[in-house]
Chains A and B, each alone.
Chain A
């Protein structure tokens, strides 16, 4: 099972360049997320989506844009990369658990994308 797949895995950008990180999930999940993780820090939510065609801001959205044109894909864009955006980026997905299932959300993460902005 592929689960959550991110591309590219590694990328070096020059300041001011743009790029897009691609995320694909094959679990038919409604929710998708983009996080960043900096050394010694926890995961911080950048943007998320609750369904195809929807996006919303997370904790640290500035400098990023996202799109969810298809349910299985969630794209993260950097329009003008800055050194402060050097980080590891994780895409994740989850389904919306219901009280009837007597369980909370389980989030499935991708392997990460290492981005360096010089």
Chain B
């Protein structure tokens, strides 16, 4: 299983764009990259998922370079409500989440 490395914490002011980079040097050909968000006192929730290039949804964008050894979660114009822990996960499809390792994630604090 590919291990991931991401910053322990980040601070940002409201209204700024936040980029959280995750490195996964040992990513395999059939691995997908998924990001989850966890608010205090809640369970994690799915944000975005991708395999290569760029993926965008109503919440975030995910940038994946050609070598796929890293990925960047981009949150546009963050607000106080984006304060949360963000987890980067890498795992193959056709597998259950028993193969997913959440780690400690990146704690994002948005400052007024």
Cβ-closest chain A residue relative to B8 = A40
CB of B93 within 8 A of CB of A109, answer no
Cβ-closest chain B residue relative to A101 = B93
Min Cβ gap A99→B in Å is 6
A90 in the interface (beta carbon within 8 A): yes
Stretch at the interface among B17-25, B63-71, B76-84, B94-102: B94-102
Min Cβ gap A102→B in Å is 7
Min Cβ gap A25→B in Å is 12
CB of B51 within 8 A of CB of A96, answer no
CB of B104 within 8 A of CB of A104, answer no
Q: Is the interface of B mostly helix, strand, loop or mixed?
A: loop
Asked if A106 meets B96 with Cβ closer than 8 Å, knowing A42-B103, A111-B43, A112-B41, the reply is no
Q: A residues touching B (Cβ–Cβ < 8 Å)? A: 4, 31, 33, 35, 40-45, 48, 50, 56, 58, 90, 92, 94, 96-99, 101-112
B34 in the interface (beta carbon within 8 A): yes
CB of B41 within 8 A of CB of A31, answer no
**How many pairs of A and B residues are in contact by the CB < 8 Å rule?**
81
CB of A109 within 8 A of CB of B45, answer yes
CB of B98 within 8 A of CB of A107, answer no
Give which listed residue, A43, A44, A48, A99, contacts B93 with CB less than 8 A: A99
Per the 8 Å Cβ criterion, residues 12-70 of B in contact with A are 30, 32, 34, 36, 41-46, 49, 51
Q: B102 contacts which chain A residues (CB < 8 A)?
A: 35, 42-44
CB of B44 within 8 A of CB of A43, answer yes
Cβ-closest chain B residue relative to A47 = B98
Q: B51 contacts which chain A residues (CB < 8 A)?
A: 102
Q: A94 contacts which chain B residues (CB < 8 A)?
A: 96-97
Give which listed residue, A41, A106, A110, contacts B46 with CB less than 8 A: A106
CB of A106 within 8 A of CB of B93, answer no
Interchain residue pairs A-B with the least CB separation, the first 6: A109-B43, A104-B32, A43-B102, A42-B102, A42-B104, A31-B96
Min Cβ gap B107→A in Å is 10
